[in-house]
Structures are given as structure tokens and as C-alpha cells.
Amino acid sequence: DGGITQSPKYLFRKEGQNVTLSCEQNLNHDAMYWYRQDPGQGLRLIYYSQIVNDFQKGDIAEGYSVSREKKESFPLTVTSAQKNPTAFYLCASTPGTGGSTNEKLFFGSGTQLSVL
Amino acid sequence: AQTVTQSQPEMSVQEAETVTLSCTYDTSESNYYLFWYKQPPSRQMILVIRQEAYKQQNATENRFSVNFQKAAKSFSLKISDSQLGDTAMYFCAFRETSGSRLTFGEGTQLTVNP
């Protein structure tokens, strides 16, 4: 079955440590996104990528980094500069990159990151 | 920048009754797309319904329908014959026609009581 796989489901970070969240899709989608969700709040966009080897900052990119070396993969690194990383992280994708389409987002099942 | 506002943090409804969730948005664009997503306790995001701004007819999907008021920049979701499985966080979202990013509201936690 096609879909988006996020791993791990739960992740713990120590102080000063960088951690990487994995996101893989086999839908052949061009665009991929990372969202952060805090308890009782909506989703905020961290980074997005519309094409391989290119990505743009979202609304809350500070303390995060991404890469898009392959179409199917869009890993997110939470760096030590992110002082409040505890949140639920959702990866998503869409077939195209915008334009006159009402494409929906396909979501992964998320990664819960907590600080030890 | 576009903003999406959901003014009802929590709502509850009795099973089989009807409930309406509110959403307003701010944009200078004339054409765009609006979405309602559902997030049950599993935290999996599920698309409920979507609306294209240039279409005047309100979208419907089985028990779910929207009331789209473009001039008022309002996009409410009506759930008819509420079921226990409708208990979830509901998010309103906005997307420009020319862009690929989706902007979400803060969500409304809906509880359906037996």
C-alpha cells in the first residue's frame, strides 16, 4: 500500500543533542512538508520542499534543518538550538506543487518527541 | 500572511444531533481552497471535506457539509446525525491557489456524548 511512513513513533532527546526524524513516502509525490503540533494547538509549518534538492522555511524553522536528496525522503533534524522541542511532529505530502488544484495533504502517523 | 481562526476550543453534542463548527480566515486572494481535517485520538490526520473558493455551491460529504460565506470569509462545518466516532479535534485549513502550503487553525475539540 502507498503511504507515508514516519519513524520512530516516539523519540527522546537529551540536552544538547541533535535528533533526526525520518519521513519516507512511496506515493511519488513531489511536495513534502513538516508540521509541528503542540498540545491543544494547531499545526505549524516548519519546512517544506517542492522538488528534490530544494526546500523552503516555514513559519517556525529556527532550530530545525532538513534535506531532500531523494524524492521519497524528507528527514527533519531537531538541533540543540531548538530549546523547546517537545511536540508531535507530522510529515505530509502532496502530488504536485500547487497551482490550480485542491490537492489534499497526505499525512504520516507522526513522531512524538520528548526531552529527557 | 493568511490566518485561520477557530473561535471554539471545545464543543460537545449528543449522539444523533447536529453540530456546527466555526472557522474564519483572512486573505487578500480571490481564489483559494479550504479544508476541514479531523484528528481522532490516534492523532492520524483525516481529510473531512474541501471547498474551492470559486465554487458557490457548498461542499457536502455524507453527514458533513459546509457553509461557505466568501464575503464574510467564513467556512463552518456542519455534522449531522453525530456519531461517537466523530469525537476528534477538527482543524480548518486554508491554501492559496498559487501556493502549496496549508495554513491551519488552532482546532476545535469535539466530543460526542452517548
- pLDDT truncated to tens, each residue of chain A (116 aa)? 679 999 999 999 888 899 999 999 999 999 999 999 998 788 999 999 999 999 999 999 999 999 999 999 999 999 998 989 999 999 999 887 655 455 778 899 999 999 88
Point out which residues pair with B80 in neighbouring strands: none
What is the rounded end-to-end Cα distance, in angstroms, of chain A? Answer: 35
Distance between CA atoms of residues B104 and A22, nearest Å: 23
- Which residues numbered 2-31 in B keep a CB inside 8 Å of some CB on A? 4, 6, 9
Q: Quick one: which of A79, A73, A90, A57 has its CA closest to A23? A: A73
Q: Quick one: which of A94, A108, A115 has its CA closest to A9? A: A108
pLDDT at B69: 95
Q: How far is A30 from chain B (nearest CA, A)?
A: 11
> Does B50 contact A102 at a Cβ distance shorter than 8 Å?
yes
Chain B residue with Cα closest to A58: B101
> Does B100 contact A96 at a Cβ distance shorter than 8 Å?
yes
Q: How far is A80 from chain B (nearest CA, A)?
A: 26
Q: Quick one: which of A23, A12, A6 has its CA closest to A113? A: A12
What is the rounded end-to-end Cα distance, in angstroms, of chain B? Answer: 41
Residue B85, helix vs strand vs coil: helix
Cα angle value B68/B58/B36 (rounded, 5°): 65
Looking at chain A, list the stretches that DSSP marks H as alpha helix, in order from N- to C-terminal side: none
pLDDT at A102: 53
Chain B residue with Cα closest to A46: B101
Rg (Cα) of chain A, in Å, rounded? 14
DSSP B86: G
pLDDT at B101: 81
- The residue type found at B89 is M
Cβ neighbours for B31, distance < 8 A, ≥ 6 positions apart: B52, B53, B54, B97
Tell me the chain B residues in contact with residue A94 when contact means C-beta distances shorter than 8 Å. 100
Distance between CA atoms of residues B34 and B22, nearest Å: 13
pLDDT along chain B (114 residues), means of 10: 90 98 93 93 93 90 96 97 97 84 93 97
Distance between CA atoms of residues B75 and B79, nearest Å: 13
pLDDT at A18: 94
Q: What is the mean pLDDT of chain B?
A: 93
